[in-house]
Amino acid sequence: MKHFRNTVFATAIIASAGFGQANAADWDMPVPYSDKTFHTVNIVEFASDVKEATGGELNITVHSAGSLIKHEEIKNAVRSQQVPIGEFFLSRLSNENAAYGMDSEPFLATSYEDAAKLWAAQKPVVTELLAKQNLVPLFSVPWPPQGLYTKGEVKTTADLSGLKFRAYNAALEKFAQLAGAAPTQVEAPDIPQAFSTGQVEAMITSPSTGANTKAWDYVSHYTPINAWVPKNIVVVNKAAFDGLSEDVQKAVMDAASAAEARGLEMSKAETEAKTAELKENGMVVVEPSAELIEGLKEIGAQMQAEWEANASDEAKAIAEEYNK
């Protein structure tokens, strides 16, 4: 009987000692970009911070470059609990509600300061919309401002007329049409081939994408027009988050806050580094002329007027707050 009691006691101690590890959570996190992309680098550090802060109670494994789940499927995969957490380009959801796509509206927010102001207005609304899908936003990080890539200097918007223009969303298609250009859908990995075959002759994208696709091989000029400052967002499934202890939840939110601040600084550094890389590889970096900026803003104003006529109530509320 004494031996039985000792055995039970010893078993209880072993069970107690292994409690933390037995209840440890292992989360798979799909992200759409490569290991070298600063967004992914930032997220890997976020995962490391969470693991350290929780003593290994929550381990997040980052699956980069769409290797686990394709970009367009990540949001719904988190929603359906296929995975507990994931990252995606926020304006991909603009077909669900215009509130999601405001950071990709041309010439609405054209600097990091404006982008931060827009996110401050956008975040409460986006949070509420995502909550209806059982999703919780953790943090967002902007891309570098978007610039213009061409085979020669563009001094006015008239110089864009007739050009085959790369587009990757509805806003860019509309922009190209208003500029008199011909929009053509081309995904980032296909950019070099599209230029080399004459499928496209100009595009608007970040200095990151330009450098990563070796834009100097197919265009000669880069004009930092800062058309918009889009962002990625990291979300977690609410049930998965609610299943964590309060201490672990706090650790996740603290790490998320640090990742958002760190990601912003990484984005700013990326803008400088990648623009310098374009120049170092022979591209002519041209500051936009006053005439070009004026023409671009006129196009932006046209797009805004059309956008406001069709925008959701949530999007209009964001615009009103942002424009205060």
- pLDDT tens for each residue of 276-296: 999 999 999 999 999 999 999
The Cα 199–Cα 222 span in angstroms is 19
Q: How many CB atoms lie within 10 A of CB 57?
A: 18
- Note the maximum CA span of the chain: 95
The overall average pLDDT reported for the chain is: 91
Higher pLDDT, 36 or 252: 252
Cα atoms in the Cβ-side hemisphere of radius 13 Å centred on 168:
18
Q: What percent of the chain has pLDDT over 90?
A: 80
* pLDDT the model gives residue 14: 34
Domains of the chain: residue spans and CATH:
26-323 (3.40.190.170)
With a CB cutoff of 8 Å and minimum separation 6, the contacts of 54 are 247, 248, 251
* pLDDT the model gives residue 156: 97
Structure token pair of residue 100: 């999601």
Higher pLDDT, 22 or 70: 70
Rounded to two decimals, the pTM is 0.86
Query: Are 228 and 142 contacting, i.e. CB atoms less than 8 angstroms apart?
Result: no
- pLDDT tens for each residue of 75-84: 999 999 999 9
* pLDDT the model gives residue 212: 86
pLDDT grade for 172, boundaries at 50, 70 and 90 = confident
The Cα 261–Cα 302 span in angstroms is 34
* pLDDT the model gives residue 23: 54
The Cα 144–Cα 228 span in angstroms is 9
Return the beta strands (E) in the chain as ranges: 25-30, 58-63, 85-89, 135-142, 147-150, 164-167, 182-185, 203-205, 221-223, 231-237, 284-285
pLDDT grade for 168, boundaries at 50, 70 and 90 = confident
* pLDDT the model gives residue 2: 44
pLDDT grade for 313, boundaries at 50, 70 and 90 = very high
- DSSP state string for 127-159: HHHHHTTTEEEEEEEEPPPPEEEESS---SGGG
